């Protein structure tokens, strides 16, 4: 555990990406494979606990630390409120052992101590946790607690971890990223395969790393001649790769989740393709004969059903709008120009002739001014703006600026009242940075959106101080505050929704500005938001 705790401390204390990468390289180079693969799993977002695997709940941890440290429950709660991070609070409430036992590796702690007691009686789980608290020094105790709480956030992205592995091993980062897609078990064999220089059979079962467009913030005229670019509508659906290899079909979302079974009509259509291929596109809910797709909320009903019934399939039929071809008959096409890939894609799908998988429409404009006029009508079309892709671009992995841009329309806005606040995560775990906002419905304020981005550091500090002084109730980690402050929120779309108490769901809400000039009584009404819904 000491080696991993030292890595955690280095990563937490460093602000330079290069230093973080160097620390990761040193760790993966020197750590035993069993420890290294668990570190990879945890730093990539994996967790030991979940709905089906309980080691210790937060209430149990608070009760146990109160008993072991002889600290009153109220003081434990007060300490947590002050520190803002439960794992750190638990670590601080105990002294270091005077005679610590021999060090155990990360894998031993996880595989031989923690996982075997998951879901057992409280007494069994408590004994293991308390023994660890009493035997580990502070740095290791902190990391141990973070394993229990699932809050191992240390300012390291999965991409940075992959960069470190690529630099250490000499394996291309795109191959490493591809092998890490989907669900994998943290075993030494997985780590060996991940860093293998040989092509593996499993490589052909995985999607390619997605190429992500960057937001266009500069004047579109700076991109040069419009003839060098290919324009498409920016669809509001689920980005996916459709894979047909050796007669088998798989659907992978950008979130690295297989969607098999949820969209059987797409799988059926893909199975009849004449050639093996990997298609990049957007999954939409779209009825035949309609000019625009259904709202994203309709698609969400499909995501939640692993085996949709006949009524669901009829009410929300799915369609793939394909806009890139990454592989054809086993040949990787990503290094070919976009125009060439699109031509092959069009030929493949035209020969297929199935309306459930079609080529995404390219938008024709002879000038940037003409493109801007078309973009203004995006919302009426059910799209978020335009995608701009250089015709000569290759298909890269990740978010690489320069060749693919998303030129989105201005967001919809409302003025809403802050009613709830919750502490953030990671470096913001001691500040209230996650907010819930409400609109007027008659004389009542009804929650409509949650947002956590958009304020600068000075505004966050000022609002945090106000929240602490104006808390009216507490619901676990959430504080209700005196309704007073108004904020302008931006969002991409509004959909009517039976799943929300307000009857509406906003897409990607964020804070645009703090409306010091507007009194609470003049905030917008729920009916104003519903009027914007599709």
Kindly list the catalytic residues: 234
285 Cβ contact partners less than 8 Å away, ≥ 6 residues apart: 237, 293, 294, 295, 296, 298, 299, 302, 316, 317, 318, 319
Tokens 């009493």 belong to residue: 134
Give how far the C-alpha of residue 254 lies from the chain's centroid of Cα atoms, to the nearest Å.
9
Using CA atoms, how far apart are residues 5 and 107, in angstroms rounded to an integer? Answer: 13
Contact at 8 Å (CB) between 132 and 109? Answer: yes
140 closest CA partner among 116, 115, 104: 104
| SS3 per residue for 345-392 | HHHHHHHHCCCCEEECCEECCCCHHHHHHHHHCHHHHCEEEEEEEECC
Query: At 16, phi and psi to the nearest 5?
Result: -95, 130
Helix ranges restricted to H, 353-490: 368-376, 378-381, 457-469
Within a 13 Å sphere around the CA of 361, how many CA atoms are in the beta-carbon half?
A: 11
- Which of helix, strand or coil describes residue 129? helix
Residue 95 has what DSSP assignment?
P
């Amino acid at each position: 555990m000491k080696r991993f705790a030292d890595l955690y401390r280095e990563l937490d204390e460093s602000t330079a990406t290069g230093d973080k990468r160097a620390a990761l390289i040193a760790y993966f180079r020197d750590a035993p494979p069993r420890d290294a693969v668990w570190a990879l799993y945890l730093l990539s977002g994996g967790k030991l606990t979940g709905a089906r695997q309980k080691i210790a709940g937060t209430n149990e941890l608070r009760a146990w630390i109160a008993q072991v440290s002889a600290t009153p429950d109220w003081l434990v709660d007060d300490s947590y409120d002050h520190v803002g991070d439960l794992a750190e609070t638990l670590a601080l409430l105990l002294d270091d052992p005077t005679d610590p036992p021999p060090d155990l590796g990360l894998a031993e702690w996880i595989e031989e101590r923690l996982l075997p007691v998951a879901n057992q009686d409280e007494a069994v789980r408590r004994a293991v946790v308390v023994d660890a608290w009493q035997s580990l020094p502070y740095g290791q105790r902190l990391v141990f607690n973070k394993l229990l709480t699932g809050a191992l956030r240390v300012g390291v992205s999965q991409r940075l971890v992959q960069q470190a592995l690529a630099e250490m091993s000499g394996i291309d980062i795109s191959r490493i990223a591809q092998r890490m897609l989907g669900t994998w078990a943290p075993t030494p064999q997985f780590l060996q395969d991940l860093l293998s220089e040989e092509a593996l059979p499993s490589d052909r079962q995985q999607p390619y790393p997605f190429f992500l467009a960057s937001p266009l913030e500069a004047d579109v005229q700076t991109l040069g001649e419009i003839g060098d670019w290919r324009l498409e509508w920016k669809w509001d659906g689920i980005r996916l790769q459709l894979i047909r290899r050796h007669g088998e079909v798989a659907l992978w979302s950008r979130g690295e989740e297989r969607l098999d079974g949820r969209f059987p009509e797409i799988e059926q259509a893909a199975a009849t393709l004449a050639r093996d291929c990997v298609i990049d596109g957007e999954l939409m809910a779209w009825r035949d004969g309609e000019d625009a797709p259904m709202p994203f909320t309709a698609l969400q009903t499909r995501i939640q059903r692993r085996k949709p019934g006949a009524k669901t399939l009829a009410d929300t039929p799915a369609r793939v709008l394909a806009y890139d071809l990454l592989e054809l008959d086993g040949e990787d096409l990503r290094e070919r120009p976009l125009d060439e890939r699109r031509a092959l894609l069009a030929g493949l799908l035209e020969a297929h002739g199935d309306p459930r998988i079609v080529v995404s429409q390219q938008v024709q404009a002879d000038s940037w001014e003409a493109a801007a006029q078309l973009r203004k009508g995006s919302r009426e079309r059910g799209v978020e703006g335009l995608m701009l892709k250089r015709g000569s671009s290759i298909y890269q992995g990740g978010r690489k600026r320069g060749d693919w841009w998303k030129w989105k329309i201005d967001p919809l806005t409302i003025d809403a009242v802050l009613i709830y606040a919750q502490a953030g995560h990671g470096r913001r775990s001691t500040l209230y940075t996650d907010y819930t906002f409400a609109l007027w419905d008659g004389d009542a304020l009804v929650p409509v959106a949650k947002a956590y981005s958009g304020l600068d550091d000075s505004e966050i500090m000022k609002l945090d101080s106000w929240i602490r002084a104006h808390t009216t109730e507490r619901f676990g980690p959430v504080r209700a505050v005196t309704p007073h402050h108004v904020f302008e929120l931006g969002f991409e779309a509004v959909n009517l929704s039976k799943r929300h108490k307000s009857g509406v769901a906003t897409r990607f809400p964020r804070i645009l500005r703090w409306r010091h000039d507007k009194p609470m009584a003049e905030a917008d009404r729920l009916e104003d938001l519903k009027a914007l819904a599709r």
